[in-house]
Amino acid sequence: MAHYAQIDNNNRVKRVIVANKEFIDSGKMGDPSKWIQTSYNTSGGEHSLGGTQFRKNYAGVGSTYDTTRDAFISPQPYTSWILNETTCQWDAPIPMPTDNKNYYWDEETTNWIVIGN
Please give the distance of CA 28 from its chain centroid, rounded to a whole number. 26
At residue 116 the predicted structure's pLDDT band, cuts being 50, 70 and 90, is: confident
DSSP-derived 3-state class of residue 34: helix
What is the average pLDDT across 16-26? 98
Global pTM?
0.90
Res 117 pLDDT > 80: no
Residues for the chain: how many in total? 117
Q: Are 70 and 53 in contact (CB under 8 A)?
A: no
Rounded alpha-carbon distances, angstroms, from residue 80 to 44, 76, 105, 106, 114: 19, 9, 11, 10, 19
pLDDT in tens, 46-92: 999 998 888 999 999 999 999 999 999 999 999 999 999 999 999 99
Measured distance CA(44)–CA(86) in Å, rounded = 8
